[in-house]
Each structure stands twice: as C-alpha cells, then as structure tokens.
Structure 1
Amino acid sequence: MKIYGGFQKMKNLMHRLITKLKVIWKIFHSYWNRNFGDTYKGLAICSVLFSSIGMAGAVLMYFTPLSIEISYLIGIVVTIVVFGVLFLGAKILFGNRRKGIIYWCLPFVLFYEIAIEATQGNGSEANFFLAVITIVMLDLFGRSLWAIIKLRRQTITLFITLVITTIGLVSVGTLLTGEGFEDRYIENFLTMKEEKTLEDNQNVADEAFVDAIAQGEVEVASLEYGVGDSFDLQSNTYNLSLFAQRDSSLSGWVMDKYFDYDLKNAPITGKVWYPTTEKDCPVLFIVHGNHNYTTDSYLGYDYLGKYLASNGYVVVSVNENSCNQLGNENDGRAILLLENIKQVLKYNKDKTNPLYQKIDEENIAIAGHSRGGECVSTAYLFNGYDVYPDNGNIKFNYNFSIKSIIAIAPTADQYMPAQHEVSISDVNYLLIHGTNDQDVRNVMGNKLYKNTTFSGEGDYFKSALYIAGANHGQFNSEWGKYDIGFPCNYFLNVKNLISTQEQKQILKVFTKIFLDVTLKGDQTNKELFHNYLAYEEYLPKTVYQQMYQGSGFEYVSNFEEDSDITTATMADAKIMASNTRIWEEIKTAYGSSGTKENYALRLKWRATKHAKVKFEIPAYDMTGKELQFDIADLQKNKNNGNQLIDGTVRITDQNGNVANVKISDCAIVYPSLPVQLYKVDFLADSYEYKHQPQIVSVDETKFLENNSEINTDSITSIEIIFDEMEQGDVKIDNVGFGMK
C-alpha cells in the first residue's frame, strides 16, 4: 500500500507539472502569435538574401571569371531553387508545416560550413555558437520587420526585438567585414628581446649594407613575351597535358571557355625586367603559385623585378596561370618553369633581341611562391634528370646552371617523383615563411629545407626565415592581405598583420643579399642569413626566427638514425639526459603526404633548474668552427610567453677543462608564438602556437673567452643545461659543428 500511495503521489505531481507546462505553452503560443504569427515570409526573405552569400561562393568555384556581384545575383536564384526543392521534400514529409525550420537550417548550415572551411577545421565550437547566434538574430529580425511593416503590428516586443537584432546583426556584419583584431605578442616579445643585450650583435651592419639594399641607380626596362600580337617578344607553346589535366566537370568546361587554348598548347609566357645598360647579369626566374586563373599573378612581383633589375639583375616572372586551379599539377609547374628558362635563354643568344647578352647563363637562381615554392625544388631536380621519373619515355634535356633556390611560403609533397619525396643536393636554398599564413598554415618548407642536403663538395648554404605577422599573399601585389577568397575571407583576421610594404621589404632585402652572396660571390653580408640581429636596425620591426646550415656542417646528431634515443649521428657518440620528466625523440610532420618526416629531441622538465642533455663524442677539433643547434619552445600556455628560452652551453675537452656560454649571449630564442589567425580565435581566446626552431651558434672564441685553458681541438662532450628555467618543454635538432 505504501508503494502504491507513493506511486499515486508521483503520478499526481507529474499531472500537475504537465498541466502547468501546457498553460505556459498556451500563454507563450498566444504571445508568439500576437507578435510573430504568420511572419515566416520575413524570415524567408532574410534567409534567401543571407544564404545567397554562401551560394555565391559556390558559384565562383565553378564560374571563376564572374564578379562577386554577378555571382551573388546568381546565388539568389540558386538559393530560391534550393528552397523550392526543400519545400517540396518538406511538404511530402510534414505537409505545410515546418516552413520556418527550412528557412532556418539552410543559412545556418552554409554559415557554419563556410566558417569551418575558412578556419580549416579550427574553432568548430566557436564557429557553431557564432552561427547559432547569427541565425537566431536573423530569424527574429526578419519576423519583427515583417510584422511591423507588412502586418502593421505595433507592440513593444516587436520594436525591442527589431532594435536588439539590428544592433546584433550590425555587430556581426562589422566583425565579418572588418579587418578583425590586433594582438600584442610581437610587441611583448620584442620588449623581452630588448632586455637581452647581445654585445656581439650591436652595430655589425654598416653603410655597406645600407648601400647593398638600396634601390639601384641603373635604368630599368621591361617587356613581356608570349604567343600573340600583344606581346613584345614571341615565344612557343608546350604540351602540359602530359603532366596536368583540367577537370572534366563544369569548372573545367568554364576554364576551357575562358582560355583560348588547351593544355596541349600551354603558352610559354612571362615578364622580364632588365637593366638597360648592363650585360651578363645574373638572372632570377620567379614563379607564382595557385590562385584564381583570372588574376595575373605573375605581375604581382613587379616591385621585386624593378628593384633587383635596378641593382644589376635580370628578373623573369613566369606566368603559370595554365596550372592554376588544377590538382596534382606541381610537376607540370616545374616543367613549365624550365621551358620558360629555355625560352628566355634563347632570347639571350639572339642578336636581334633586346635581351641579347643580358644574362649570365652560368648564374641562374629560381624562386617560387606557394605551390611555386614547391615547384622550384622539383624543377631543380628535373634539371639534372634525363627522363621524367614517372614516365621514362618522356625525355629531359635542360641542365641549366641553377645555383640558388628561394622558396616563399611553399607547399610540400603535392608532387612526389616516383613516389619519393623531392630531395635535392648542392644548391643554395633560402626559405621564407610567415606566422600568419592562412593558406599554408604549417611551415611545409621545413621539409624542403631538410631535404636540401650537401655532399661536402663545393660551398653552399641553406637558411630559413620565419616572420611574425607575415601572411601568404602580401608577398604578391595581386594577392593581398586575404589568403582565402570570398566568402571565407570574412573570417580571416588581418588586422594583426605587418603591413604589405614591410612584408615586401623583407622579401626584397633577403632576396637581394641572397643573390649577391650566391650569384655574385659577394660575401659581405652573408651573416644576415644566420644572425639577423646584426642587421635588425635596417629590417622592418617584427619577430624573426632563423635556421642555417652550411655545406661544411658536421653532425653530432640529427636524431634520424634509429629508434635508440641514446645513439647519435656521429660515430661512437652517445646521448644522455637528466633531471627531465620527458626525454624522447619526436616526429614533426611538415609535408602533406610524404614519409621522411623530421625527428628531433624533446626535453620536458618541471620544478628544476638542472635539466640537461649531454652528447659524449670522440675527441673533436672545433678550431675555427662554431657549435650549432636548432631549438624551439613547445609550450602551449600563453602565460609562459614572458620568458625567453635560455640556458648554458657547455663543452668539455679531453683533459676535463670546461667552458660555458649562455644561449642568450648567442641568440634570441623566443617562446612559442601565440598566433591568432581567425576572428573567432579572439572571440574564444584561443591560439595556434608556432614552434619554429631558432639556430644557436656558439663560436669557438666565446668558449675561449670563458676559459682560455679549454683545448678546442679535443672536445669530448657537449651539454645544453637549462639552468635559467624552472620548467620547460623544448625540441632540439641538428646538433653539430659548422664553419664560421
């Protein structure tokens, strides 16, 4: 009976609760109908106009030559058709009900999918809530506006709703159409750097460097070559269909209609800047990457062409729009670049040509941006091959004297010759990438940098420069500050970028000095590529990180040899760590589909200033050399961003003599860079931490200054001791000795 009585009480309680809920629902339903009843048409109009933005983006994917305005008008028509199809399906399933749900769901899905695509899958929760809030406001705005204007309802609820949703939608619109938010980490990190005074790096650069990077005084002329009467010089076509194909879908059909040729007759075309009064000039061929094929991307390096030509270089910007908006075409890009080199060198031999004898064919450099940055390594590889690695029936015969490569924000692994990664040897290599690259977010060029090796024969070097605040597109005048096109660009944060002028200046300076060193043999400012601090007075103010390795570098350990973390690359060398929570070798994937990823040593410690790693080596003579290693912070806590990575580098000779040098006396090693690429990152207070390595070079003389008794001709151990940090998480790579 007690159980029955308890059950009856529960039943009565549930009945009363349900009754109250019904009353509340009835009141709400009456309230809703009084204000928003029969207002779905207002929502429908707003939903169509809003959804058409997303549809316009889809239209542009297939009809790239159209303007955004025309695409939006077409998007409205497409949206109405889509709604019609949805209504037909809904009518079959629900009758004439649920109209509001259909008008609500489509704009929500489009908004969310565009946001996810723009942020490359990051910030999904923040994007979801932003989409929900936006569509709810859009719903209530459309309904209240329709009720007031069309249905002549005048209630306080409607007016308040209209005001609030108008303010909300204007705020969202301002957020999406504006440049976004500023951040302060660059300023804060530079302040930390200023607190460390590196005496050896003060005032190294002088007026000679200022003169070297100045605009030249040589008169510059330019011309374009291609197929057709509109070009200054006539060229030929090349059959690219062996290496790339246009899509057979609608977008491929539109591309066929836009171009007046197919890939069997791809034109060899580009623009040349050259000094009018000079002869036998070193030459740089530069190739753009993937972008809308309606954009003249090759003209985006005009500023670089004019600058270098005024300083005695010939510059050729290759038009590779034939390869744009294709897939699996990077080998085709490389072939087209080599065919352009062949064509321009023909002009150089033609006595009737304005380019006659302008070029020193023994001093050629190639540069590429984005997919072009990957293709230049492939082009260098093909340049030395006799046949195409994926089809030996296709013969090569290039063999140009390419001495230097510049890769600007490159991709990697988009093309893998015969299923191998692109690996090249004995060439000078410069990698440049920005922290705020919203297209190639990871430094894929680190793989190309790693896969550029030296045989020990000849004098070469490779260097990598990482630039805080630089994005993907500002290196090219035709691309600009938005790295992704409409409508995804609305979600990109660009207010925290360095200026376009600054980003171009960095590229100009490093390109010019790199060519001076590697093509003209002028070693005066070579230090720029491993010690930017000596030149920072003349560089745009931002955070830089560098890697460097010369062809005479000898490894102690690159951590690639095996899974035994106590062994090293150098024969009979041993590795040991102490006072750490984690000591391991980690794999860092830089490419997109390759197999030879990079391994490095990881050390993590807490509540101690005695964490260290020690390399025991056979007696080594470092006379006239530098001890080098790359190091990067791995911490992902923004609260740890107020301390530079520091410690002691210690060497011991075979007699037990010890010499110590502080890391901060040789290099500035920044904490992980807390980058915010997207507007939702600021809304959600989220960060993408960048862990680019920084080279630390300790010259033999610094050890001798610390202890003149140290015998640098018989070093038996190297220690890196983190005695300045109570906790840390770092990776160390490429430990060894290089020439000064």
Structure 2
Amino acid sequence: METETGAALIIKPKRRLFREIGQWLVSRKRATMSNDNPFLRTSMVGLWLASCLILVVSSMGMPTGMGTAADGLIAILIGTIGMIIFPPIIAFLLSLVYLPLPRKYAGGVIYVSLVIFAVFYYADAGWLPAIVVSCALTLYGIISGMMISLWMSRSISKKIKLTAVAAVMIPILIYTSWPMLSIGTSISVLHQDDSLAEAVLPLEAENPAESGAYRYSEFAYGSGKDRHRSEFGEMADLISQPVDASIYVEDWSRLRSFYWGFDQDELPVNGRVWMPEGKGPYPLVLIVHGNHLMEQFSDEGYAYLGEMLASRGFIAVSVDENFLNYSVWQNIPDNDMKVRAWMLLKHLQQIAVFNSQPGTPFYKGVDMEQVALIGHSRGGQAVAMAADYKRWFAADRSIQGLTDMRIQSVIAIAPTDKVVNKQSPSLKDTNYLSLQGAMDGDVNNFYGERQYMRTSFSSNSNRFKATLYIGEANHSQFNTDWGSMDDSLPGGLLLNRAGMMEAEAQRQVAKVYVSAFLEATLHGRKEYTALFRDYRAGLKWLPQATYYNRFEESSFRGIARFDEDMNQITGINGVTVEASGMQWAEKKVEDRDGNSKGTRGVQLEWSNQGTYTLNIPALRSASLRTGEETSLAFALTSLGHELEDIQAGEQGQEDIPIPFIEIELESGNGAAVKLPLEDFMPIKPLPHTDFTLHPWLEEKIRDGKYKEATEPVFQTFTLPLDRFQQSNPQFNPSHITRITFHLSGERGRIMLDDIGMTD
C-alpha cells in the first residue's frame, strides 16, 4: 500500500510538470508574433521574393525537362511553401529563448539566408563566398521588403515611394551593367601590336565566313520515335537505325530511360543536315556538341556553322548526343567520352548507307574520302578520338564499313583532354585546328595544345596543324543555345563578363577559322593557309580582339624541339646549343593547374642581356634545304609574369616587362645578319584573366579552379630568310650555320619550342 501511494506521489509531480511545460509552450506560442508589427509582416514579401528568385534561377541550372516555365512555377511553389512553414517554426524556437526580436520576421531572414547559402554552396561556390552572397542577397530581400511596406503605406509621400523603388532597382542595374565597371577586369588588349609587318600581306581571297554560291536544303534523320523533338521523331525525313552501346555503358539510370524513352541498347542516330543542292559528291563535315545540361538540347546551336558550310559546298551535319550529357537528376552515363566518339563513327556508317540508297537526299552525294569532324568541349576530344578510333575500337566488330572513309581534318573548339582507358588520341597525317578562349570559365586550360603536340605528319603529306587562342572569348558563346555563362546557374552569376567579346563577334571568329580551315584542307584552297601561319593575314575578317596562333606544316624541318632527349646542349642531328649571360634549362610546359601540356621547351631568363645560340653542322645544314623561300620558324611564349616581384597591374599587363629580342643568322661564308624580332611580329604578354566578379573570389570558388590568371600559350614566329638576305646580300640563305637569340631588357623570361625551317 505504501508502494502504491509512493508511486502516486511520483506520478502527480510528473503530470504537473508536463502540464506546466505544456502551458509554457502554449504561452510561448502565443508570444511568438508579439514583436512583429504590420510593417514587418508586409516586409516579409521581400524575403519571399528573394527566396523565390534564387530558387527560380537555380531551377534554370537544374531543369527537369518539363520546360522553363514549369520549372519556374515549381520553384516558386517550393519557395512559397518554405516561407509558410519554416519562418513560424524558427520564430517559435526563438521565443523559447526569450529573444526580444520580431521573431517571425527574424525566422524569415534566417530561412532565406540558409536557402541562398545552400544554393550557392552546392553550386561549388565554396562556403565563404556562399556566406557572402547569402548575406548580400538576404539584405537585398530585407531592403526590398521594407521598400514594399513603405510603398503600400498611405501616409508616405510619393517622393519617398519613388526613392524606395530606386533603392530596389539600383542594385539590379549595378549587377546587369557589371561588365562596364572596373571591379572585374579581363585582359589588356594590345591591338596596336596587330599592325601588319612588312612580311605579312593581307590575304587576297574572299571572306571565308561569308555565304558561298551554293543553294542548300535542310533536313533531319532520326529514330522516328523522339519524344522531345519532332524533327527526329514523327517529322524525321530519314529513319536511321538505333545502335547498341551496352558493351560500353553500364550505368544508365531508370530516370534517364524514362526521360528519353530508350536505354543504352537503342541509342538513336539523330542528325540535322545542311546539304548543298546540285550534283556532288561533297565533302562531309560532322559537328558535335559537348556536355551541356541534358535537358537543354545543344545540337541546334551550330546552325550558324552548318548553314555557312553548306553554302560553300560542304555537307554539314550537327550530331545529337544530348542523351549522353549530364543531368542534375541523373548524373552522366559511364564511359561517356568513349561513347561520344563511337557515336560519331555510327553516324558515318549510317550516312554511308544513306549514300548508297537511291531516293535519299544523300544518294551519291557524299565524298566519304573527304570527311572532317568538328567538336566543342567534350565533343572536341571526341572528334580526335574518332579520328584515331582504332586505338579504342579495333576489337569492335560493329565498326564496319569505315575502310573507304577518310577523316582528313579535325577541329576542336575549347576541347577537353581526358585520358580514356589510359590512352589519348594521337593523330597522324590529319589536319588539326583548335580554338580556345582565355576567358573560358568551363574548360579554362588550353587542352587543344596537348592534342596539337600529339599530331604529327609525314614530310610529304602536305598537312598542317594550328591553334588560335582568343583573349576575349569564353566557352559557351561558340554555341548559340548555351548563352554567355560558362557555368550553370546560379554559379554562373559569379563569373566575370568584363571585356568579353559579344557573342556574334566570337562566332565570327569561329566562322572565319572553321571555313578557312576546311576550304584549305578539303577544297584545296591553299591560299587560306596563310591565315593559320599568321592571324594578321586575316585581320580584315576578324573582330578586334587579342589573338595568339601556333602553326606547323608537314614541310617543317626541326633544328631543336627539346623533346628528342634530356640533354639541353644538343638539338636534332648534331645541332649543339650554347648560352651566355642567362639562366637556361629545358622544362616541361605546364598549364594553369601545373600539369604537363605534353611538350618541353627551353626556358631562358636574363637580366640586362644574354644570348642563346644553335650551332648547325654542315650535314644538318644541307638537310634543312633552305633557300630564299624558306623561313625560320619557332614558337615563343613570354613568361615575364612569373618573375619574382613582378605583379600584374589593374589591367593585367602594365608592370610585366616585354623582352627585346634580336635574331642573328650566320651562313657558311661567315656573313651574319641581326634583325629585331618586332620587325616580324611583336611579342605580346599573355592574357591575364579575372574569371569571377571580384579577384577575391578567384581562389575561393570551384575548389580554386580559377586561382591562376595566366597559362603559357605559344605564338609561332615566322621569319623569311630573304628578309635577312635583303639586309646583307653576302648572307647565303641556303647554308645556315648559326642561329642566335639576343635577349635584352632589364629583366626577362621566355620559353622557346619547335625551332626549325619551313617553306
């Protein structure tokens, strides 16, 4: 009995305690909104707008495939539900600790700031930038809300209301006009250095970017079952056969199958075609996109190239590989790089079938021995892999019918260069061109230079390779559907656009170079080769920008490449090297991340002056086959920005020393000639790029991806030997025995590569 009574005594205090806690919680619930006045309640609208705005922007970077409008409405719905649920919960928690705040409003501020922080943090902005952006945008939401409250008040004058509107609009105007401000700068453009030297004559040919004389038709081939675009579905002009990629792809999600309506067993062969009218056959050019968001189709973005090429007598096909692209909801299939290249081969097989079928637009109209591949981003790597397909697909029995096909030329636009199955493509006797922008915020290393180094020629192949580095170009604007941002939203909002080329200007560069390259390599218009030797030959066709070009043709005879051995005092076939007044060493060329570009060069560093000399023995001199129509050629990059105590100025270049270099040639009879390098082409410093809106962000976002503002990019210098003979008639250009680089200036550092003779 005593035990029962004792238990009752214990239970009663517990019940009383729980009742008191419940009453206290109820009282705190009633007091939750006690400090929130009508002004602040109305101001919550600004916070709601801020949360919905950032969620709508984020939805553009993570599309569901239902369309931008639907994604935006879903984002607004989520933002609205969040504002209904979470601020009251946070307000109640604040009331429990008796904080004398307008608790619901404070809950709204906390909720919105956490939403914005999470959005930018998971967009790889880094935690500190995410905090800064979150504070800034939340503050904007606070101010906007208060301005809305002022506007709705009947007791406030119109002047104050207009001031409130201005306070809300000015930050938006500041952001949208950011490219015109000096907070984020890109590079110092040295257009005056593009004046034509005496040795460089403007090309006397029609602008390759202009439309040609051919009328053309546009049509599409596809599976006939595409559920997203009718041109590959019920409206397809030709029905292609699906292909089975299951031997390469294992990780194909159910969501991906649900979205596309097929899996890796039945990948569609879809392409949109621009074909010249009239009797062929015509060269075939395939164009393939890179890894944009899967739900935002990429193949339509190269119509500007397809239309131009068709008008100039090429069959252009933009290949659909969107089903291999990344999705926020479904990631990316495994082995996607390999399958991208494999799909290009499947398109060539399918077009070969169409070419043999009477009644198709392709019938006997395709010259399968004159094929070129153009790729952008991951597509830029895929086209090189396809051109070297036996390296990966030699055992694939489904790759048939390609023995009569010849890929003559490859163009890579801002390509990736990933190792696939421990291998990289190596092109032999294939023309190669790569374009890259210094403001590329996606592929911010010039990987096209690696493939350039892995491209080689037989001496009599009559081929060439070239690169073009464009100081003011970015990644996305080469595709008309990718916009101007090189990162998906919301991360793209933090990227700098100051100094960036207009989209049409950037695509004009692509049109000039793509067309001229294909005219030279597939149509035999060799006069256009001069553009690739020296970009200044085509300045009348190009928009104003900063250009660097590298070039080598099959007639090049090397004197020193710096890859032949590890001995820095020897060159090729008995050439010896000596230097004085400087520090010098052969080193690997590195990109922004410190990774090798696949080549070595000789780095020369001096104070005041120094010389670097190549001594050429008689037998090697004879084998160079030099004469009045021969030129000395070499690649050079200025590394003045790497010198200690040298800092780039506000515009990127002002404090970096420009070296003064003279080239001295000596012939077997002892006659010597020394000419300034600037008489042929001035040396330009490398572009200094601020990728983000403020330099503080460079090392913070994307795991420090943008921490390096500059990477070594080579410019090819071509010095005609007849210019030396004009300065000294005793000089014999057919027998060169010595080449000396005279380097002067207070301080300097350069790197040389690929020194030799070319015709």
User: Shared topology, TM-score over 0.5?
Assistant: yes
Kept in 2, the 8 Å contact 1:138–1:169? The answer is no
* TM-score normalised by structure 1 residue count: 0.80
Distance across 2 between alignment mates of 1:368 and 1:216: 23
Larger deviation, residues 399-408 vs 529-538: 529-538
Partner of residue 64, structure 2 = 64
Tell whether the 8 Å contact from 1:447 to 1:590 is kept in structure 2 after alignment.
no
Aligned to 2:246: 241
Q: Give the C-alpha shift of residue 169 in structure 1.
A: 5.4
Could you list the per-position Cα deviations for residues 544-583 of structure 1 after superposition, in whole angstroms to 9, with x for gaps in the alignment? 110001123233333335555x244524444444434675
Choose 219-228 or 126-135, whichever is displaced more. 126-135
Between the aligned partners of 1:36 and 1:717, the Cα distance in structure 2 is 86
The aligned residue for residue 661 of structure 1 is 675
The alpha-carbon deviation at position 627 of structure 1 amounts to 1.9
Inter-CA distance 587–505: structure 2 relative to 1 (3 Å threshold): closer
Please state whether the residue corresponding to 1:518 is helix, strand or coil. helix
Give the paired residue count.
Answer: 680
1:366 corresponds to which residue? 373
Q: CA deviation at 1:451?
A: 1.5
Amino acid at match of 2:653: G
Asked whether the 8 Å contact 1:373–1:410 carries over to 2, the reply is yes
Whichever residue aligns with residue 198 of structure 2, its letter is E
What do residues 644-684 of structure 1 show as CA deviations (whole Å, max 9, x unaligned)? 55411223345544222322122233112233333324999
Displacement of 1:376: 0.1
Change (3 A) 1:695 1:106: farther
Residues 644, 668 of structure 1: 8 Å contact kept: no
1:219 paired with 2:215, answer yes
Of 94-103 and 655-664, the range deviating more from structure 2: 94-103
Query: Residues 235 and 145 from structure 1, CA distance in 2 versus in 1: closer, same or farther, beyond 3 angstroms?
Result: closer
Q: Residue type of the partner of 2:216?
A: V
Instruction: For residue 545 of structure 1, give the secondary structure of its aligned residue in structure 2.
Output: strand
Deviations 1:682-738, CA, capped at 9 Å, x for gaps: 999999335421111112222222333334444343222223x3222322222222x
* Matched residue, 1:265: 266
Distance in 1 of aligned mates of 2:303 and 2:660: 42
Given the superposition, is the C-alpha separation of residues 54 and 447 from structure 1 closer, same or farther in structure 2, using an over 3 Å criterion? farther
Cα deviations by residue, 1:616-666 (Å, 9 ceiling, x for unpaired): 343432413322211122234444835755411223345544222322122
Moved more, 171-180 or 456-465: 171-180
Inter-CA distance 314–656: structure 2 relative to 1 (3 Å threshold):
same
Query: Aligned to 1:588, which of 584, 587, 590?
Result: 590
Classify 1:497/1:211 alpha carbon distance in 2 versus 1 (closer, same or farther; 3 Å).
closer
Identity over the aligned pairs, expressed in percent?
A: 25
**Could you report, residue by residue, the CA deviation over 1:444-473 in whole angstroms, capped at 9, with x for unpaired residues?**
211121122224352211000112322222
**Which has the higher mean CA deviation after the structures are superposed, 672-681 or 176-185?**
176-185
Aligned partner of residue 527 in structure 2, secondary structure: coil
Q: Is the 8 A contact 1:118 1:492 kept in 2?
A: no
Q: 1:223 to 1:651 in 2, by over 3 A?
A: same
Report the Cα distance in structure 1 between the residues aligned to 2:566 and 2:121, rounded to whole angstroms: 38
Matched residue, 2:662:
648
CA 1:125 to 1:577, structure 2 compared with 1: closer, same or farther past 3 Å?
farther
| SS of 2:217 mapped into structure 1 | strand
Shift of 1:117: 7.8
**Larger RCO of the pair (alpha carbons < 8 Å, separation 6+):** 2
Change (3 A) 1:88 1:613: farther
For 1:111 and 1:693, the matched residues in 2 are separated by 42
What secondary structure does 1:525 align onto?
A: helix
Contact 1:492 1:677 in 2 (8 A): yes
SS at match of 2:294: coil
Distance verdict in 2 for CA 1:310–1:145, change over 3 Å: closer
TM-score by length of 2: 0.79
By how many angstroms is 1:265 displaced?
0.9
Aligned residue runs from structure 1 range 161-240, under 5 A: 170-178=169-177, 180-181=179-180, 188-194=189-195, 198-202=197-201, 204-206=202-204, 209-210=205-206, 213-228=209-224, 229-240=234-245
Contact 1:118 1:484 in 2 (8 A): no
- Which residue number corresponds to residue 23 of structure 2? none
Q: CA deviation at 1:120?
A: 7.0
- Taking the aligned partners of 1:49 and 1:316, their CA distance within structure 2 comes to 44
- Superposed CA offset, 1:9-61 (max 9, x none): xxxxxxxxxxxxxxxxxxxxxxxx99999988677654454344444455556
- What is the CA deviation profile of residues 74-114 of structure 1, one whole-angstrom value per residue up to 9, with x for unaligned ones? 33554577786798799889945686887556655665676
Task: Report the AA paired with residue 75 of structure 1.
Answer: A
Which stretch of structure 1 is more off in the superposition, 314-323 or 94-103? 94-103
1:410 maps to 2:415 = yes
User: Within the alignment, does 1:728 sit opposite 2:730 as a pair?
Assistant: no
**Contact 2:591–2:712 under 8 Å retained in 1:** no
Q: Using the alignment, how far apart are the partners of 1:103 and 1:363 within structure 2?
A: 64
AA aligned to 1:240 is: A
Give the secondary-structure state (helix, strand or coil) at the position aligned to 1:708. Answer: coil
The 5-angstrom pairing of residues 483-632 of structure 1 reads: 483-494=486-497, 496-561=499-564, 564=567, 566-580=568-582, 583=585, 585-589=587-591, 597-606=598-607, 608=608, 610-619=609-618, 620-621=620-621, 622=624, 623-624=626-627, 625-632=630-637
| 1:349 equivalent in alignment to 2:352 | no
Distance 1:236 1:668, change over 3 A: farther
- Counterpart-to-counterpart distance in 1, 2:236 and 2:526: 39
- Alpha carbons of structure 1 residues 576 and 435: separation in structure 2 relative to 1, 3 Å: same
SS of aligned partner of 1:730: strand
The residue number in structure 2 matching 1:15 is none
Equivalent-residue separation in structure 2 for 1:94 and 1:586 (angstroms) = 64
Contact kept, 8 Å, 2:57 with 2:489, in 1: the verdict is yes
Alpha-carbon spacing, 1:210–1:356, altered in 2? closer, same or farther (3 Å): same
Gaps of 5+ in 1: 1-32
Could you tell me whether the CA contact under 8 Å between 2:58 and 2:489 is conserved in 1?
Answer: no
Moved more, 170-179 or 313-322: 170-179
Residue equivalent to 1:293: 294
Cα distance, 1:603 vs structure 2: 2.9
Name the SS of the counterpart of 2:500 in structure 1. coil
1:526 Cα deviation from its structure 2 partner? 1.2
Greater Cα offset, 314-323 or 58-67: 58-67
Comparing 578-587 and 288-297, the one that deviates more:
578-587
